[in-house]
Each structure stands twice: as structure tokens, then as C-alpha cells.
């Protein structure tokens, strides 16, 4: 094993990083692990001061200074360099239309990083056609996830504001990525907690086999059964032969979003429980199965140090519920909440090991799955973080798709900074799912959720009939 690289201590990759690397290996488009985003504010900015704030934020966030290196056996390692000395670019889009500016940033997002011993992010200061100013940030998913990106951007804003506005406090330090990394590596090397987690997931997998639910019903499963001449088959292929992806976004307004949030507050459940209830009930309606499994992303940021450290900590596991139609909407939600809490407790386990074990137990061919989609809920926004001292200054964030995905369909639900409404971002393989299918899914999931929160004692069967 490598001990040092360019004079810096070297560390193995974590399970979360290997998960992304796993996709990277099999994906012909290497930008599949790129995340592109922008944050712009409706005010003039001092670009020199912004540049200083960016360098300072780099200094305070060690995972933004990550480098990777591959040894002769093909194993990847990581190390953190002391400082970033790259020039921060500036691009003035004021002579272009908004569409042209966004199209250009989308193109930036599709450029993969070199990876070996080179920086794994790009920051551009941007002056937008609509008079908003700010930054575009591109990172590699092996170095950051959505939550750490938000933390890093918030740090830039707060550093800038504390240097340029009266009465804005200097932000508290970000937490050490290396410390969190060492904690993760210690778990992975073997401990009682890891043994417990393995036992939990093995029992869960062995208890019974899930069944695939398609976005429009059981056609894919039936096709697979005919092809294999196996009437009992329960898994299907839900990806296409192309990783080319599109992003379709549906906007839920502020007022209906508020109603969903009020319900969650009243019944002590998180919004992710409500979203899962809506999605699984939709698949139940379309497929006639009480048994529905959906992949869910778990942030693994329970402690303050985890929340404030950079890096990528996301693990993704199938989330399976068997809810008969006689159960009420509220009973279903509470069951989801309890199961979610249980899953969180074991979420440090390696998802690749999970899927490998499940494939082995049920003798699945490569590429077959039970889950039609993946869900991520992103509760954090930059709202009121450092910007509240600036009066009514408006700001916007935008995510740019990288043009490739290894799964049929991902849904990321996040709050809009402008009005705190919800954006449903469907990133999907163009050949696997159509926009029309997604419109239909979005429409019915919303109908199910609103019908359920209006009358939580309705049974799942009643809601399916009513929508």
C-alpha cells in the first residue's frame, strides 16, 4: 500500500467513494460523477473580495483539496494538499441570454476531471445576464456530496459577508474531513458495529424476496418472465442500453408545500417519509402489489461534525415496505418512519456488499433489480444562512445535469430558495423513462400525498380508488 504521495499522508477510499467509483468503472461517460451547481445573488459583488473568500474557504475545507492516485494494482488512494493556488476564473455572461449562459454552464458540467494527482473541482465567478452575480461550482462526487457542497458555498458567502458588511460574524470553522475519514476507515476495517450491521442486512435480505414494480405497471416484469420462461421471476431490468440522461423538473408551489410541511410537523414525521409514502402508493396503484421497494439515499450526517465536514458520505439502500390496502395512510407513514430510523442505525454498512449479497441469495442475473427508482430528499437550503444580514437580497441556486446516469430514474426533491416551494428533479436515462411518464408519476404522487394529509385515516385502498 501507498504510504505517502508528494509528501502527503495517503488514505484508502471510503465505501461511499468506492460506490461512486463502481459506477464510474462501468459508465462509458466519465462525467457521471460530476456535480455542477451555481449560486447567484441579486447584488453587485466585489470580485477581488469574492476571490479572497473562495481561497479562504478552500483553506477551511480539506476535502476540496483532495487528490487521487492509483497504484500499480489498480487501487485508488486519496491525499489532501496544503493549499489551492489555482487562478479563480471569472466569466461575464452579460452579453448573452439566460438560456445561453445556463447552456454554457451545463456544458462545463459535462467535462470529466483528470483524476490522477489533479484538482477535483472548478470554481468560476459569474456575472449573469439577469444582473445576479455569484459562483458556479463543479465537483467530483468522490470528494463532495450535496450537503457538503451547501456547507462549502455557505462558507464562501459568510466569509465574504463578514469581510464586507458590518456586524456579520466570522463563520465557525468547518469540521475536519480527515477525522471523519479515519472514523469511517476504522469501521470498515472491522468492529462490532459493522458485524451488527451485516447481520441486520443479511437477515433483511433473507427474510423474503422483493418484487419489481414498473412506472407504468407490470410490463417489464412480464417481458422478463417470458424471456426467461420463469413465471415466478420477481426481478427485472429497468435501465436502457444508453446512459445518456435528461433532467425534468416539476415545481410544487409554496402554499401546497407548506401544507405538506405542516402535516409533517403535526404528526412528527419527516418529509422523506411522506414522499416515500406517496411514491410507494403510486407503484402499488400501478402494479397491484402491496410490496414496493425504492432505493433511498442516506446522508450519514447525524452529528454536528459530520454535518460540517466535507467529503461524500452518502450511502444508498433499497427501502422496502409491504403495506396492505387495508392499512390507513397514517399507519403506513408511521411504519415508514420506524423502518427509516432502523435503516439509519445500520447505514454505515457497505451498499455494494448489500447488493452483492442480495444477488447471490436470489441468483439474479447482472442488471436485474427490484427497484424502479432512487429517491433523495435534500432538506438543507442556503436560506437565511449568512444572507439574512443583507436585508431582502434575493438569491438563486441551480443544479446542472452532467448528461449521464447509470440508473433508470433518480428523483431528488429539494427546497427552492426563492419561495421554499419544492422542486422535483427527475434525472433519468432518456431511453428508459419518458417525460410523459414522469408527468403522470408526479401528478399522481402529489394527488396521493394531498389526499392522505387531508384525511390521514383513509385506507391506502381508498386513496388508490380516489386518485
Same domain, 49 and 169: yes
DSSP track, 72-141: TTS-EEEEE-S---PPPEEEE-TTS-HHHHHHHHHHHHT-----BTS--EEEEEEE-TTS-EEEEEEEET
For residue 93, what is the domain's CATH number?
3.30.559.10
The predicted structure's pLDDT at residue 390:
55
Last residue of a domain, one of 148, 181, 214: 181
How far is the C-alpha of 461 from the C-alpha of 450, rounded, in Å?
Answer: 15
Overall domain count for the chain = 2
Same domain, 145 and 211: no
The predicted structure's pLDDT at residue 168:
84
The predicted structure's pLDDT at residue 149:
94
The predicted structure's pLDDT at residue 366:
85
- All three cell numbers of 379: 432538506
Same domain, 255 and 167: no
How far is the C-alpha of 297 from the C-alpha of 412, rounded, in Å?
Answer: 10
How far is the C-alpha of 343 from the C-alpha of 229, rounded, in Å?
Answer: 35
The burial of 138, by beta-carbon neighbours within 10 Å (0-12 exposed, 13-18 middle, 19 or more buried), is given as buried
Same domain, 206 and 81: no
> Do the Cβ atoms of 242 and 411 come closer than 8 Å?
no
| H or E element in which residue 374 lies | strand 374-378
Which DSSP letter does residue 392 get? T
| Beta pairing partners, 45 | none
The predicted structure's pLDDT at residue 384:
47
> Do the Cβ atoms of 292 and 278 come closer than 8 Å?
no
Which DSSP letter does residue 291 get? E
Same domain, 389 and 323: yes
The predicted structure's pLDDT at residue 167:
82
Same domain, 280 and 427: yes
287-305 per-position pLDDT tens digit: 999 999 999 999 999 888 9
Same domain, 383 and 423: yes
Q: Which residues span the domain enclosing 162?
A: 4-181
How far is the C-alpha of 168 from the C-alpha of 62, rounded, in Å?
Answer: 24
What sign has the CA pseudo-torsion 10, 11, 17, 20? Answer: positive
145-176 per-position pLDDT tens digit: 998 998 999 899 889 989 998 888 899 999 99
80-108 per-position pLDDT tens digit: 999 988 899 999 999 999 999 999 999 99
Same domain, 173 and 246: no
Query: Cell match 421554499: residue?
Result: 420
Same domain, 221 and 338: yes
Maximum Cα interatomic distance, the chain, rounded to a whole number of Å? 73
Read off the pTM: 0.94
**Strand, coil or helix: 424:** strand
Same domain, 155 and 202: no
For residue 268, what is the domain's CATH number?
3.30.559.30
| Beta pairing partners, 315 | 298
Positions in the chain whose pLDDT score sits under 50: 384-386
Last residue of a domain, one of 122, 155, 181: 181
Last residue of a domain, one of 130, 161, 181: 181
Same domain, 177 and 194: no
Same domain, 83 and 219: no
Amino acid at each position: 500500500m501507498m504510504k505517502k504521495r508528494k509528501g502527503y499522508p495517503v488514505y484508502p477510499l471510503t465505501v461511499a467513494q468506492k460506490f461512486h467509483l463502481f459506477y464510474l468503472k462501468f459508465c462509458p461517460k466519465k462525467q457521471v460523477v460530476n456535480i455542477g451547481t451555481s449560486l447567484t445573488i441579486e447584488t453587485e459583488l466585489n470580485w477581488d473580495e469574492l476571490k479572497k473568500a473562495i481561497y479562504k474557504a478552500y483553506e477551511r475545507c480539506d476535502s476540496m483539496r483532495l487528490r487521487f492516485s492509483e497504484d500499480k494494482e489498480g487501487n485508488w488512494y486519496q491525499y489532501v494538499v496544503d493549499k489551492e493556488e489555482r487562478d479563480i476564473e471569472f466569466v461575464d455572461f452579460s452579453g448573452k441570454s439566460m438560456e445561453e449562459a445556463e447552456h454554457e454552464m451545463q456544458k462545463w458540467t459535462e467535462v470529466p476531471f483528470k483524476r490522477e494527482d489533479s484538482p477535483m473541482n472548478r470554481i468560476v465567478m459569474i456575472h449573469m445576464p439577469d444582473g445576479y452575480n455569484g459562483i458556479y461550482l463543479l465537483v467530483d462526487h468522490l470528494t463532495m456530496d450535496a450537503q457538503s457542497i451547501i456547507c462549502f458555498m455557505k462558507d464562501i458567502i459568510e466569509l465574504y459577508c463578514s469581510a464586507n458588511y458590518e456586524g456579520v460574524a466570522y463563520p465557525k470553522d468547518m469540521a475536519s474531513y480527515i477525522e471523519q475519514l479515519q472514523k469511517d476507515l476504522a469501521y470498515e476495517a472491522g468492529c462490532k458495529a459493522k458485524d451488527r450491521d451485516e447481520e441486520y442486512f443479511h437477515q433483511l435480505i433473507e427474510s423474503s424476496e422483493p418484487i419489481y414494480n414498473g412506472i407504468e405497471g407490470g410490463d417489464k416484469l412480464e417481458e422478463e418472465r417470458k424471456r426467461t420462461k420463469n413465471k415466478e421471476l420477481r426481478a427485472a431490468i429497468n435501465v436502457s442500453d444508453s446512459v445518456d440522461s435528461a433532467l425534468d423538473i416539476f415545481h410544487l408551489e409554496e402554499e401546497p408545500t407548506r401544507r405538506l410541511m405542516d402535516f409533517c410537523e403535526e404528526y412528527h414525521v419527516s418529509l422523506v417519509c411522506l414522499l416515500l409514502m406517496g411514491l410507494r402508493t403510486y407503484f402499488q396503484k400501478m402494479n397491484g402489489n402491496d410490496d414496493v421497494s425504492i432505493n433511498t439515499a442516506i446522508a450519514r450526517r447525524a452529528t454536528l461534525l459530520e454535518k460540517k465536514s466535507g467529503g461524500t458520505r452518502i450511502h444508498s439502500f433499497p427501502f422496502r415496505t409491504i403495506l396492505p390496502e387495508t392499512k390507513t395512510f397514517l399507519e403506513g407513514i408511521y411504519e415508514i418512519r420506524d423502518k427509516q430510523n432502523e435503516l439509519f442505525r445500520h447505514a454505515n454498512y457497505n451498499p455494494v456488499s448489500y447488493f452483492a449479497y442480495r444477488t447471490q441469495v436470489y441468483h439474479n442475473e447482472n442488471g436485474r433489480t427490484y427497484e424502479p427508482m432512487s429517491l433523495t430528499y435534500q432538506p438543507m437550503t442556503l436560506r437565511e444562512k449568512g444572507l439574512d444580514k443583507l436585508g431582502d437580497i434575493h438569491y438563486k441556486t441551480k443544479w446542472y445535469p452532467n448528461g449521464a446516469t447509470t440508473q433508470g430514474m433518480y428523483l431528488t426533491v429539494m427546497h427552492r430558495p426563492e419561495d421554499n416551494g419544492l422542486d422535483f428533479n427527475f434525472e433519468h436515462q432518456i431511453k428508459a423513462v419518458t417525460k410523459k411518464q414522469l408527468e403522470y408519476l408526479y401528478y399522481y404522487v402529489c394527488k396521493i400525498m394531498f389526499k392522505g394529509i387531508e384525511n390521514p385515516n383513509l385506507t391506502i385502498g381508498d386513496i388508490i380508488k380516489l386518485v
